[in-house]
Amino acid sequence: MSLGTKLHTAGNHTRWVLDYAKWLLPQETIASVQVISSSLTMTVDTISTVLGKEVWFFTAGGVAGEQPTVTVSVTTTIPETKIDTVDFLVTSP
């Protein structure tokens, strides 16, 4: 599911947080996560989960005018799998 379009400034290193608490059952937590950028110039790094309910990742770099998509794949302790996308528009500094 697309979570919308976000602006990312070229050259910035920005943290993004996706909260899955409302989607998860009370006893369910995130067991693993994979975050991938469609871009070679706007990368993602430092991927982590917080208390098993949120996914944190950072975007870095990018070229102004570029429109990459970040794909987030979450697997839970049940296990369920949820795949989301976030579209980005890279802007000039």
Segment 3-42, tens digit of pLDDT: 999 999 999 999 999 999 999 999 999 999 999 999 999 9
Domain assignments of the chain as residue spans, ordered by start: 2-91
Give whole-number Cα distances, 53 to 48, 58, 87, in Å: 10, 17, 22
Tokens at 81, concatenated: 């799998």
DSSP H or E segment with residue 59: strand 54-61
Fold of 2-91: Immunoglobulin-like (2.60.40)
Q: What is the pTM of this model?
A: 0.93
